[in-house]
Amino acid sequence: MSGIDWLVLCFTLLSIIGYGIYKSRGTKSMQGYLLADRQLPWYHVGFSVMATQASAITFLSAPGQGYTDGLRFVQFYFGLPLAMVVLCITFIPIFHKLNVYTAYEYLEKRFDGKTRLLTAFLFLLQRGLSTGITIYAPAIILSTILGIDILYTIVANGVLVISYTVYGGTKAVSHTHLLQMSIIFASLFLAAWLVVHLLPENVSFTDALHIAGKMNKLNALDTEFDLNNRYNLWSGLIGGFFLQLSYFGTDQSQVGRYLTGSSINQSRMGLVMNGLIKIPMQFFILLIGVLVFSFYQFHQEPVFFNKVETEKLQHSSYSKEYQELQSAFQKANAYKLSCVNELVEAVHAKNKTAIESTGHKLQIAEAQSRAVKKQVQVLIEKNNALADSNDSNYIFLRFVTEQLPVGVVGLLIAIIFLAAMGSTASGLNSLASTTVIDFYKRVIKKGGSDADYVSATRKATYAWGVFCIITAIYASKLGNLIEAVNILGSLFYGTILGIFIVAFYLRKVGGNAVFISALIAEVFVVGAWLMELTAFLWLNVIGCLLVVIFSMAFQKLSKK
Amino acid sequence: MNEEHHNTKVDTTWAKIYALVLGVLVVIIFLLYIFTQHFQ
């Protein structure tokens, strides 16, 4: 990175942090520190909710996923607008009326203390691990750019976010989210424009889409019902609905965001905004990855996008094999380039027969090229069993740093940091508030002062920060990060959502029935995942339905 | 009476907003279907 890029990066980050600190100065009460005094307007709520979900992983992994897997991941978000409607009708009015700090407080009012504690514990477990992964993601950037061990970048990133979150609390988090999302949106449009601008002169935006389409990258909709297919219309609508409902309705990192709304209607509007914008936004980010894929059809594509691993390979005993594979890759790509040029000519001539035949040739050429890449991955694993052999998280980063102009590189790196700071801050904030409100205040120190609890929340933020840093250190073995976070969420969200569904809609079911059902459902969900019985999105549906069905059955049995 | 009337009005407005959200979802899915078919 050039000096100007570093300047842009530092200026953007410091401005945002400074703005957050300025806006949150003088916050001393619990209501102020955890809920921003419940005074925020709908657009603050909307941007805050979006910034919490859109972590650095979104901007690192999603374009990589678009590059390798096409647009099909967009279907994952189909259930989100449906979930927003249900939340607006049911969850928001109840949480607002009960004046709760965390979603789990409601469960004690509805059931009993043990159900509240169990649900809060499941949340802490999954959110703690997920936040660790969100710290890891931007650490890859520094590690690759500075060429230093990822361990140091994880610790440095974690410490920066911890200190910022501890100082600012929810008020700072929500105010910075607004600014962060504005910069992120502007930068993404700039990035997309630049990718198209970097294509050869005779290749237009639609030509790039034709190339990607012929290589199965524009698979945005799959209507076939298949339980083992991760992303299709049905898993997105049904599984995605349950996952998003659970995430936004029962995950404190999100509940804490919309509880800051100044009224029920302001919170609702914030979620409606999220429901309308999320799918187009995700489509756009994946499309950037697809356009980067088209770009590399005309330029030398790296055989493996993680430079650190290929450099290790070059200096290993496998160096000769690696060089042979590299030249095989270049040959395969040269042939592919000729097919791509043929396709562009056919598209310009509107010759449908030629488009079909060159499209078929192109797919074969692409398969040959992928086969060589796969061999390089195997070689990397052979050379170092602990190596990160999945390079999808490095694709966008490598493209940005090598292809984009000075200044823009710094800006795009900054948005990845901003996104990381936004979601990690929300994560740490919710972990600390749940620890203090649902455990410390409920079990250890009842009737303490506001100052006691604010101080305890700050200490809890530190402690969770350390836990998340340790998790981040182990996160590099999880493959595609965005999927890892979603799989982790799916292991717990279904059960948690089931508890809330029973609480809201099955008024006759009591605490004991739902508590036992939740334990059984969780064991079943983890078992189903370990045995790979179904694609992960369906685990949300299974967990939720099991809690509901078992709760009703146990309640009936207990009456007899 | 006035409050009841106000509540009904608010509920109707929100029902329209929810219908809009669901309508936008249907339109997005339809457009993605066209998009996928066109570039396949």
B32 at A interface, C-beta within 8 A: yes
- B32–A223: do the CB atoms touch at under 8 Å? no
A361 at B interface, C-beta within 8 A: no
Mean pLDDT, rounded, for A121-134: 87
Q: Are A76 and A536 in contact (CB under 8 A)?
A: no
B25 at A interface, C-beta within 8 A: yes
| pLDDT confidence bin for A232, thresholds 50/70/90 | confident
Residues of A in contact with B13 (CB under 8 A): none
A15-72 residue pLDDT tens:
887 887 787 777 778 888 888 888 889 999 999 999 888 877 777 788 999 999 899 9
Q: Are A155 and A468 in contact (CB under 8 A)?
A: no
Mean pLDDT, rounded, for A337-354: 90
- A221–B32: do the CB atoms touch at under 8 Å? yes
CA distances A504 to A92, A222, A250, A494, A510, Å, are 12, 34, 12, 15, 12
Domain count, chain A: 2
Of residues B22, B24, B40, nearest to A213 (C-beta): B40
Q: Is the pLDDT of residue A480 over 70?
A: no
Residues of B in contact with A218 (CB under 8 A): 35-36, 39-40
pLDDT of residue A297: 92
Of residues B10, B21, B36, nearest to A81 (C-beta): B21
A239-272 residue pLDDT tens:
889 889 888 998 899 999 999 999 999 999 999 9
Q: Closest-CA residue in chain B for A233?
A: B29
Question: Do A45 and A65 have their domain in common?
Answer: yes
Mean pLDDT, rounded, for A502-515: 91
Residues of A in contact with B14 (CB under 8 A): 88, 268
pLDDT of residue A430: 92
A239 found inside a domain = yes
Chain B nearest C-alpha distance from A131 (Å): 30
Residues of B in contact with A210 (CB under 8 A): 39
Where is average pLDDT lowest: A224-228, A275-279, A523-527, B6-10?
Answer: B6-10
Chain B nearest C-alpha distance from A88 (Å): 9
Q: Closest-CA residue in chain B for A265?
A: B14
Most B CBs within 10 Å, among A72, A85, A86, to test the B interface: A85
| pLDDT confidence bin for A478, thresholds 50/70/90 | low
Average pLDDT, chain B: 84
Question: Do A423 and A506 have their domain in common?
Answer: yes
Chain B nearest C-alpha distance from A35 (Å): 25
Q: Is the pLDDT of residue B1 over 60?
A: no
pLDDT of residue A87: 94
Question: Do A311 and A288 have their domain in common?
Answer: no
A535 found inside a domain = yes
3-state helix, strand, coil in chain A (%, to 5): 80, 0, 20
Domains of chain B, residue spans: 1-40
DSSP state of A442: I
A394 found inside a domain = no
**Domain with A291 in it:** 3-296+399-559
Take residue A549 and report the two structure tokens written for it: 């069905």
DSSP state of A395: H
Domain with A85 in it: what CATH number?
A: 1.20.1730.10
Most A CBs within 10 Å, among B12, B35, B39, B40, to test the A interface: B39
Mean pLDDT, rounded, for A72-77: 92
- A88–B24: do the CB atoms touch at under 8 Å? no
pLDDT of residue B3: 59
Helices (H) and strands (E) in chain B — how many of each?
Answer: 1, 0
More confident residue, A95 or A484: A95
B33 at A interface, C-beta within 8 A: yes
pLDDT of residue A145: 67
Mean pLDDT, rounded, for A508-537: 88
Distance from chain centroid for Cα A16: 21
SS3 at position A261: strand
**CA A57, A60, A65, A68 torsion-angle sign:** negative
Question: Do A8 and A87 have their domain in common?
Answer: yes
Work out the angle at residue A252's Cα, subtended by the Cα atoms of residues A167 and A506, and round it to the nearest 5 degrees. Answer: 160
Q: Number of A to B CB contacts under 8 A, please give it.
A: 51
B30 at A interface, C-beta within 8 A: no
Q: Are A237 and A541 in contact (CB under 8 A)?
A: no
pLDDT of residue A511: 87
pLDDT of residue B9: 66
Where is average pLDDT lowest: A123-137, A284-298, A406-420, A478-492?
Answer: A478-492
Distance CA A372, CA A542 (A): 39
| pLDDT confidence bin for B39, thresholds 50/70/90 | confident
Chain B nearest C-alpha distance from A214 (Å): 6
From chain A residues 212-231, the ones with a CB under 8 A of any chain B CB are 212-214, 218-221, 223
Question: Do A219 and A114 have their domain in common?
Answer: yes
Question: Do A439 and A363 have their domain in common?
Answer: no
- B21–A221: do the CB atoms touch at under 8 Å? no
A527 found inside a domain = yes
- B21–A276: do the CB atoms touch at under 8 Å? yes
Query: Of the candidates A133, A54, A141, which has an alpha carbon nearest to the alpha carbon of residue A399?
Result: A141
From chain A residues 51-110, the ones with a CB under 8 A of any chain B CB are 71, 74, 78, 81-82, 84-85, 88-89
B28 at A interface, C-beta within 8 A: yes
- With a CB cutoff of 8 Å and minimum separation 6, the contacts of A428 are A131, A161, A162, A165, A461, A464, A465, A468
Chain B nearest C-alpha distance from A220 (Å): 6
Question: Do A324 and A220 have their domain in common?
Answer: no
A272 at B interface, C-beta within 8 A: yes
Mean pLDDT, rounded, for A209-237: 86
Question: Do A229 and A327 have their domain in common?
Answer: no
| pLDDT confidence bin for B6, thresholds 50/70/90 | low
Strand partners, A514: none
Query: Of the candidates A448, A417, A428, which has an alpha carbon nearest to the alpha carbon of residue A256?
Result: A428
Average pLDDT, chain A: 87
A301 found inside a domain = no
Residues of B in contact with A234 (CB under 8 A): none
Chain A nearest C-alpha distance from B4 (Å): 17
Question: Do A455 and A352 have their domain in common?
Answer: no
B19 at A interface, C-beta within 8 A: no
- A74–B32: do the CB atoms touch at under 8 Å? yes
Where is average pLDDT lowest: A240-244, A297-301, A547-551, B18-22?
Answer: A240-244
Question: Do A32 and A139 have their domain in common?
Answer: yes
Please count the other Cβ atoms lying within 10 Å of the Cβ belonging to residue A206: 12
Mean pLDDT, rounded, for A381-387: 80
Question: Do A332 and A473 have their domain in common?
Answer: no
